[in-house]
Amino acid sequence: VSVDVLERSGGSLAWEQSDWVSWAQSDWRRLPIRQQPDWPDLEMLRRVTGWLMTGPGLVGAAEVRDVRRSLARVARGEGFVVQAGDCAETFERPTIGTVNAAAELLTGAAGVMAARLGVPVLPIGRIAGQYAKPRSAPVERVGGVELPVFRGFLVNSPDPVPQARVPDPVRLIRAYQHSSATLRLLRESPAGAAVRTSHEALVLDYEEAFVRWDPEAGEWFLASTHLPWVGVRTHGPGDAHVRFLSGVANPVGCKVGPDTTPDQLRRICERLDPERQAGRLVLIARMGAGNVVRCLPRLVAAVESAGHPVVWLCDPMHGNTVRAPSGHKVRHIETVKAELAGFFRILYAMGGWPGGIHLEAVGRRVTECVGGARGGVAEEDVPSNYESACDPRLNAAQTAEIVGYVCGLCRAAA
Ligand code: PEP
Ligand code: CO
């Protein structure tokens, strides 16, 4: 690592200056970490991760390199990304129908955008591994009883009984098997072949077991997914998650929120993209419709002035979650549109390229988000077909509406 890199990092984290030179897949273990399960059975965890480590990875190095190349084109303004899927995948059988529907939703959206915008559009699913959820509180109340919170199928069960909420390491194997089955269905489906995978790399005991060596490129890569991302709750520049993802050759995503400061973002970018390579880093802005115009410009400027050729995506979902009268978490289509409009306006005004969108969406007629022109969902309809294991998703009609709206934003600015 060059002296230059150390100087740019400001030397603010002294321990890293020597450690930065070499990276090992387990060195995140020495760093501050958030959002990890409290595994009660560490011996079982060791056996499970040992088993995963010696098995075949889920994605190959050549594919990972290919996604990086596609993202490099997006970073240069020659393409667009549509990343979408469940907030939380479940361990229900990955049926051909479900996977086909997800693939069709993604490639359908990508096809519409490619035709209207005249640039290649890369479809990336929140799929085949999106099983772990960061949570804002460690406990929740269900029917007057306090329970450890549900952390995604990778960790525990959503059933509202204490025993179901105990983290179970055997779930890591089930996650691997479900990812593997989902990927296989995706690869065999006509629509799915072009789809790439992504998930939040949250539970590092699991992710560490998928670090593999790519002999052709001479680098480590993460074989659990094409595009791992780090969430807003775990993106501390000196923390475990950023350290872990800094050492794998995959393209990596990082969520950026209204509380992310320009200085913090510069340090994150320095850790994750020290070489300043197009296609390496995808920043996913999830500011909230009311914050995007105020908060995004200084973040875009910070990244730009530090010389990182990132892909900027807009996640108009996670900053806009509210409670419906029924108590369900919802998002309103009009608010989603407002954040998208703000994002596009700012990126264009600053001479940047709005590289794409990140949605929670499903190809079924769920009633989790409110609004929509065709067959819109009213607030009182929300309980009728609410299936999400975590956050509310756009249904197929709402997704089509958002995709059309985004095409309009692109063309208006072109
Ligand atoms: C998510 O993408 O489901 C999520 C939890 O996002 P964030 O880290 O942006 O809150
Ligand atoms: Co979510």
Cβ neighbours of residue 385 closer than 8 Å, sequence gap 6 or more:
365, 366, 367, 368
Minimal-distance CA residue to ligand 1 atom 3: 87
Per-residue pLDDT, 50: 98
- Ligand whose nearest atom lies closest to the CA of 315: 1
Nearest to 331 by CA among 384, 380, 371: 371
Centre of ligand 2 to C-alpha 390, Å, is: 7
Q: How far is the C-alpha of 408 from the C-alpha of 414, rounded, in Å? A: 10
Nearest to 328 by CA among 386, 409, 287: 386
Per-residue pLDDT, 411: 67
CA distances from 342 to 10, 45, 304 (A): 32, 45, 19
Question: Looking at residue 146, what DSSP letter applies?
Answer: E
Centre of ligand 1 to C-alpha 231, Å, is: 6
- 319 and 339 Cβ atoms separated by less than 8 Å: yes
CA distances from 88 to 333, 337, 391 (A): 20, 23, 8
DSSP-assigned beta bridge partners for residue 121: 80
Per-residue pLDDT, 92: 87
Minimal-distance CA residue to ligand 1 atom 6: 231
CB 231 near ligand 1, within 6 Å: yes
Per-residue pLDDT, 374: 83
Per-residue pLDDT, 93: 77
- Record the tokens describing residue 126, joined without a space: 């929140």
Atom number, ligand 1, closest to the C-alpha of residue 130:
3
CB 87 near ligand 1, within 6 Å: yes
CB 134 near ligand 1, within 6 Å: yes
Per-residue pLDDT, 389: 87
DSSP-assigned beta bridge partners for residue 193: none
Regions in the chain scoring below 50 on pLDDT = 1-15, 17-18, 413-414
Per-residue pLDDT, 367: 97
Per-residue pLDDT, 375: 77
Question: Is the whole model's pTM more than 0.85, yes or no?
Answer: yes
Atom number, ligand 1, closest to the C-alpha of residue 284:
9
Per-residue pLDDT, 53: 97
Per-residue pLDDT, 342: 98
Q: How far is the C-alpha of 343 from the C-alpha of 349, rounded, in Å? A: 10
Per-residue pLDDT, 95: 86
CB 392 near ligand 1, within 6 Å: no
